[in-house]
Structure 1
Amino acid sequence: MTHTARRIGRSLALVLPVVLVLSGTLAVTMVPWADNTPSQMLTASAEDVSVPQKPAAAHEVLRDKLLSELQQGTDPGVVLTHLQQEVDKRPTTLAAHCVGIARALGEAAVKVVGPTKAQSYARPVCDTSYATGVLSAS
Structure 2
Amino acid sequence: MTHSANYTQRSRRARGQGPARRAARTLAFVLPVMLVLSGTLAVTRVNWSGSSQDSILTASSQDVSARAKSRAPQDILRDRLLEELQEENPGVALTHLQQEIDRRPSLAKHCMTIAKALGRAAVHAYGPARAQSYARPVCDTSFASGVAGFRG
Structures share fold, TM-score greater than 0.5: yes
1:129 aligns with 2:138: no
Provide the C-alpha distance between the structure 2 equivalents of 1:46 and 1:81, rounded to a whole number of angstroms.
Answer: 44
Pair 88,48 (structure 1): closer, same or farther in 2 beyond 3 Å:
same
Structure 1 segments (4+ residues) deviating >4 Å: none
Q: Flag structure 2 segments of 5+ consecutive residues without an equivalent.
A: 1-48, 50-55
CA RMSD in angstroms, aligned pairs only: 2.0
2:149 aligns to what SS in structure 1? helix
Instruction: Give, in angstroms, the shift of residue 128 of structure 1.
Output: 1.4
Pair 133,49 (structure 1): closer, same or farther in 2 beyond 3 Å:
same
For normalisation by structure 1, the TM-score amounts to 0.63
2:136 aligns to what SS in structure 1? coil
Pair 83,46 (structure 1): closer, same or farther in 2 beyond 3 Å:
closer
Provide the C-alpha distance between the structure 2 equivalents of 1:69 and 1:75, rounded to a whole number of angstroms.
Answer: 7
Residues 84 and 92 in structure 2, CA contact (< 8 A), matched pair in contact too = no
Instruction: Give, in angstroms, the shift of residue 137 of structure 1.
Output: 1.1
Percentage identity across aligned positions? 57
Residues 113 and 142 in structure 2, CA contact (< 8 A), matched pair in contact too = yes
Provide the C-alpha distance between the structure 1 equivalents of 2:57 and 2:75, rounded to a whole number of angstroms.
Answer: 32
Residue of structure 2 equivalent to 1:67: 82
Larger RCO: Structure 1 or Structure 2 (Cα < 8 Å, ≥ 6 residues apart)?
A: 1
Alignment of 1:106-125 (within 5 A): 106-125=119-138
Give aligned pairs, total.
94
Residue of structure 2 equivalent to 1:48: 59
Question: Which of 1 and 2 has greater Rg?
Answer: 2
